[in-house]
Amino acid sequence: MERITSGFRKNWEHKLENLGFGYHSLEGLYWDESHYYQFSSEEINKIENATAELWQMCLEAVDYIIEKNLWHRFNIPDWFKSYIVTSWEEDHPSIYGRFDFGFDGTNLKLLEFNADTPTSLYEASVVQWYWLQEMYPYKDQFNSIHEKLVDYWKYLKNYMNPHYIYFASLTNIEDVTNVEYLRDCATQAGFDTEFIAIQDIGWAEDIEEFIAGDRTIMEYIFKLYPYEWILDDGFGEKLVKNNFRSQWIEPAWKVLLSSKAILPILWEMYPDHPYLLESYFEPKHLKDFVKKPIYSREGANVTLFKNNIPLEQNNGVYGKEGYIYQQLFDLPNFNGNYPIIGSWVIGQESAGIGIRESVNLITNNQSRFIPHLID
C-alpha cells in the first residue's frame, strides 16, 4: 500500500456536483484527490478474502448471541428481543455493511463493523470510479459496488411484493445522497421507489400501520437511521406493534452487528483469529488499547491508551450503554495521515473499498475520502 501524490482535476468541484456529490467540501475538504492509495493485487485479494470471511463470522455470531442469551451485552430492551429474533429467523434481507480495517501492508485487522447505517457508499462506488476513468483509465480499482447493488435488488425482487420501497433518512445532504443513490440502484433493478424524510413517516395508531404522507400503508421501508435511535425515541414499540407488516431494511438483527459489543463476542468465538484484535468488556491485561462506547458514531467518546495513559480522545454524547476495550492497532503513518480502509459487503459478497484518512489517530467526522487504484 502506497500513498501517491496526484493533481486535482480541472473543475473537479463541478465534476463532482454533476454526479450529485454535493458534500465534497462542506466543513473543509472531504473529497481529496491530491493523492491516492495504490494497492497490489495481492493486497486487494487479502482484503477481499478477509471481508468475505468476517461476514460469515458475523452471521455465525448472531446465532451465538441468540443461543447464549447475550442480550445484556447489547443494551437491548426485553420487549425488542423477539422482534430481532424473528427478523433473523425469517432471514429478512440485508443490503450492505462496511467493515473498517486497519492495514499496515502486512497485518489486516477489523476495527469495527458499520452494519446498520454505513455511509460513504456513493463516493466509494460512483465518485471514485469516475475519478479513475478520467485520471488513470488504464488502471483498475477494487470496486464492483454499483453492479452488486443493482444485482442484489434484482435478486430481492423475487421475494418482495409489492415492488414498492420507501427510502427514508434525515434530511442532511450526506444521508440524503447515500439514500438517493441506494434508491436509484433499486429503481434500476425494477422497483418503484419514493424518498421520504424519516420524520415524515406516520403512524396510524388505530390500525397499527406505518403510513406515508398520503396515508398509504408502507410495506417496505429502507431506513438510514440507526436502531439504537429508534429504540431511544420510542419508535421501537411501534415496530413491535406493527409485527412486520412493514418490513424494514436494514433488518433488526443488524443492530447486533452494528454495536461495538460484537467485537468482544467475535474474539470470544474466534480467539487469536488473524483478522481480529483482542477485545473485551473490561480492560483486563491490555495496556495499549482503545476504549469505545458500545454505540458511537464518527469516533465520538473514543479514547486511545498507550501504556494505560490516554493518548487521544474525542468528546461526545455516547457511553451510557457501556464500553468495550480493544487492543490498539498502529495505523500506518503517511506524513501525519492515518488511513482506514472501509470494505463493503453488498448482498453477502465483498464488493470494494473506500479509504478515509485523518490527521488524528481516531478517525472522526473531519476525515477525508481518498480514492484508490490497483497497480
Q: Which amino acid is at 189?
A: A
Number of H helices, E strands in the chain: 11, 19
Across all residues in the chain, what is the average pLDDT?
94
Q: How do residues 27-54 score in pLDDT, each as one tens digit?
A: 789 999 999 999 999 999 999 999 999 9
Supply the pLDDT for residue 26. 79
Q: How far apart are CA 316 and CA 22, in angstroms?
A: 26
Report the predicted TM-score, pTM, of the whole model to 2 decimal places: 0.95
Q: How far apart are CA 127 and CA 122, in angstroms?
A: 7
| pLDDT above 60 (res 8) | yes
Q: How far apart are CA 317 and CA 296, in angstroms?
A: 8
Q: How do residues 287-340 score in pLDDT, each as one tens digit?
A: 999 999 998 666 667 888 899 988 777 666 665 678 999 999 999 999 999 999
Percent of the chain clearing pLDDT 90 (strictly above): 87
Strand locations in 170-273, DSSP E? 192-197, 202-204, 209-211, 220-224, 247-249
Cell of 365: 467526522
Q: Which amino acid is at 115?
A: A
Supply the pLDDT for residue 338. 93
Measured at the CA of 311, the angle between CA 117 and CA 341, to 5 degrees, comes to 35
Classify residue 366 by its DSSP letter.
T
Measured at the CA of 166, the angle between CA 163 and CA 169, to 5 degrees, comes to 155
Q: How far apart are CA 3 and CA 171, in angstroms?
A: 34
Which residue ranges make up each domain of the chain?
A: 2-259+332-374, 278-327
Sign of CA dihedral 266, 73, 120, 101: negative
The least confident of 230-244, 245-259, 312-326 is 312-326
Q: How far apart are CA 143 and CA 39, in angstroms?
A: 13
Rg of the chain, C-alpha, whole Å: 20
For 262, the enclosing helix (H) or strand (E) is helix 262-269
| pLDDT above 90 (res 71) | yes
What mean pLDDT comes out for the span 82-98? 97
